[in-house]
């Protein structure tokens, strides 16, 4: 298994030099997030992830979770690691101090989440789902609900889930059959079955708080009739067991140490959170949190894969360089001298570091949306978050999967063998494009709802940032050609959007046909902007080797990866006819 080491040098570069987290925190009044505090979180978080979580990654995959008559046991060491995590205060880093949290900005919580996910994706699912539940209760719960649940969740005594999917419906939540019947005491009896519930049952906490989508008896049809309910595994007042039980756990391709459960609610006592029939709006608070976390899983698995691949490429001897022996004292040269291996490694490096920059850029927007006292700033941040969230989820997981595949390929035949750990990263990463809304759904959300649905407003909010950056750096002595390339694509972005919107007015299928390529096209442009920001910041670094590596990777990105936008543009412009003209029956032999 690759030995994970937190990439602290690159993380600090983004925090200190590219995005100026310290100035950002000062402007928001987040005085507790001092440079010393940030440094301590990086250093101590890295130790916990490297020394506690990473050693459990392979063993957790091999052992998996155990199911016995409704009882789920996590792999050896998982429960103890969670206790250590809670005892160290990590669970409440970004939580509200009113409920026992440290009240630090969300961006620091995401930085910690990156290290957790890179060292052990399956383990990270348990606290990750809890943070989402906390955000939903904090945003939409009553004062009584907050007092009942948030302190326990923040302390890590209890954990949380979100329960959406049912066997007959995935994304189309309007079809759910779970029902909630009002009771005389103001509670609801929730009945139904949910599937694919991550961390739905386990032995790591004393209680599990389920947030469950269900319909009231008089609910309108479709998504307008969905309500959200808090359904605890054990009643908060009496400690008695509620009528919710795990029917089975899934046998999965990856993330095997994360319990993915079928949950059966048999008249379980629940409590309405938020307004009746407005549950989907409440759940989106949690889902958006989860989608950003899922996007990070592409980065996390990619980072672990790259660390394994770069070490192997420097150690593995095979053939001689085409330009002559580079290690004549050895029987063969290390494979890192071969251009095709470098192509894979640089692709991995470019996507990982670009996606990390996208994560931190988005994390700052989360801070602003939550902490700014300026309504205009908050709205601008929320608009940018709405635009970027589907891109973060889909682009980062698509490219993360590409990165882990490259990592396995660098190892050749050894990459296909379990003992090296590279194939596990591919398997673990493969779920990320599927859950929390498939990437196709994210693409529809981006193009249909966020871009065209806002008449281009949300897109323009970002393209203006890029336009200003390009105008400021048009005469950059080293990077002007790349700035011009980005500027052309930024203009083309708007033109392409207009053409899709015009076509969709005649045929709505044009949106669905264009959506995935449009999202990937958008992601490549966003990373180009972020890579130029990193390249400019790198030039001011005293570390010459670090700066050279950044500039070289930026050059590789612009010359080798950014041209993929031309293919995605061509696919968008191809329209829907070639997709929709073949009758469904004609697909069969």
DSSP 170: S
Handedness of CA 14, 17, 18, 20 (dihedral sign): positive
Q: Does residue 380 have an active-site annotation?
A: no
φ, ψ for residue 273 (rounded to 5)?
-115, 130
Which among 276, 521, 571, 311 has a CA at the least distance from the CA of 422? 311
d(CA 434, CA 440): 9
The answer to whether the beta carbons of residues 468 and 529 sit under 8 Å apart is no
The answer to whether the beta carbons of residues 229 and 188 sit under 8 Å apart is yes
| Catalytic residue (choose from 62, 436, 475, 495) | 436
Which among 276, 334, 282 has a CA at the least distance from the CA of 309? 334
The answer to whether the beta carbons of residues 196 and 250 sit under 8 Å apart is yes
Which among 488, 468, 486, 467 has a CA at the least distance from the CA of 535? 486
Which tokens sit at 255?
A: 């993330």
Which tokens sit at 46?
A: 């890295």
Neighbouring CB atoms inside 10 A of 400's CB total 29
DSSP 102: -
d(CA 42, CA 32): 15
Name residue 75's beta-bridge partners: none
d(CA 490, CA 496): 10
Which residues lie below 8 Å from residue 274, measured CB to CB, with a gap of 6+?
140, 141, 227, 228, 281, 282
Torsion of CA 528, 530, 532, 538, to 10 degrees: -140
Strand pairing category for 207-214 and 158-163: parallel
d(CA 440, CA 574): 18
Which among 518, 301, 531 has a CA at the least distance from the CA of 400? 301
> For residue 69, is it left (φ>0), alpha (ψ between -120 and 50) or beta?
left
H-type alpha helices, 254-338: 279-315
d(CA 83, CA 97): 21
389 to each of 104, 290, 466, 538, 573, how far by Cα in Å? 22, 10, 18, 27, 24
Q: Supply the residues annotated as catalytic.
A: 436
């Amino acid at each position: 298994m690759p030995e994970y080491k937190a990439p602290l040098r690159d993380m600090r570069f983004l925090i200190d030099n590219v995005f100026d987290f310290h100035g950002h925190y000062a402007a928001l009044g987040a005085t507790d997030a001092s440079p010393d505090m940030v440094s301590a979180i990086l250093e101590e978080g890295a130790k916990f992830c490297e020394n506690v979580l990473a050693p459990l990654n392979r063993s957790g995959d091999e052992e998996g979770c155990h199911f016995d008559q409704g009882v789920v046991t996590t792999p050896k060491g998982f429960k103890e690691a969670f206790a250590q995590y809670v005892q160290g205060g990590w669970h409440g880093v970004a939580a509200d101090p009113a409920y026992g949290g440290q009240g630090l900005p969300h961006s620091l919580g995401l930085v910690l989440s990156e290290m957790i996910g890179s060292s052990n994706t399956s383990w990270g699912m348990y606290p990750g789902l809890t943070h989402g539940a906390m955000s939903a209760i904090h945003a939409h719960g009553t004062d009584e609900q907050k007092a009942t649940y948030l302190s326990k969740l923040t302390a890590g005594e209890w954990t949380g889930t979100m329960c959406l999917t049912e066997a007959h419906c995935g994304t189309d939540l309007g079809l759910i059959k779970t029902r909630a019947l009002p009771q005389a005491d103001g509670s609801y009896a929730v009945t139904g079955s949910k599937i694919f519930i991550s961390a739905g049952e386990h032995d790591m906490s004393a209680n599990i708080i389920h947030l469950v989508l269900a319909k009231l008896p008089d609910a309108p049809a479709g998504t307008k009739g969905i309500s959200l309910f808090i359904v605890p595994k054990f009643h908060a007042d009496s400690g008695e067991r509620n009528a919710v039980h795990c029917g089975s756990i899934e046998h999965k391709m990856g993330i095997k140490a994360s319990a993915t459960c079928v949950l059966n609610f048999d008249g379980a006592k629940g409590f309405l959170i938020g307004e009746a029939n407005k549950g989907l709006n409440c759940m989106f608070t949690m889902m958006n949190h989860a989608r950003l976390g899922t996007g990070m899983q592409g980065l996390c698995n990619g980072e672990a894969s790259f660390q394994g691949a770069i070490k192997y490429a420097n150690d593995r001897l095979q053939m001689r360089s085409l330009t002559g022996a580079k290690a004549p004292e050895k029987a063969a040269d290390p494979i890192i001298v071969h251009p095709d291996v470098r192509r894979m490694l640089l692709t991995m490096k470019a996507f990982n570091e670009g996606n990390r920059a996208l994560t931190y850029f988005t994390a700052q927007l989360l801070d602003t949306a939550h902490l700014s006292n300026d309504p205009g700033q908050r709205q601008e941040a929320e608009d940018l978050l709405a635009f970027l969230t589907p891109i973060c989820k889909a682009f980062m997981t698509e490219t993360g999967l590409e990165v882990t595949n490259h990592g396995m390929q660098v190892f050749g035949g050894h990459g296909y063998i379990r003992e090296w750990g590279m194939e596990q990263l591919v398997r673990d990463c493969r779920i990320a494009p599927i859950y929390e809304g498939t990437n196709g759904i994210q693409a529809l959300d981006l193009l249909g709802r966020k871009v065209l649905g806002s008449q281009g407003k949300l897109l323009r909010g970002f393209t203006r940032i890029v336009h200003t950056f390009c105008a400021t750096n048009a005469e950059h002595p080293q990077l002007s050609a790349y700035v011009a390339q980005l500027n052309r694509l930024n203009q083309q972005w708007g033109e392409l959007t207009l053409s899709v919107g015009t076509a969709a007015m005649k045929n709505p299928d044009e949106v669905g046909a264009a959506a995935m390529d449009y999202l990937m096209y958008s992601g490549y442009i966003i990373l180009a902007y972020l890579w130029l920001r990193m390249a400019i910041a790198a030039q001011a670094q005293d570390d010459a080797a670090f700066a050279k590596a950044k500039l070289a990777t930026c050059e590789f990105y612009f010359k080798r990866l950014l041209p993929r936008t031309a293919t995605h543009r061509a696919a968008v412009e191809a329209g829907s006819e070639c997709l929709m003209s073949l009758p469904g029956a004609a697909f069969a032999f």
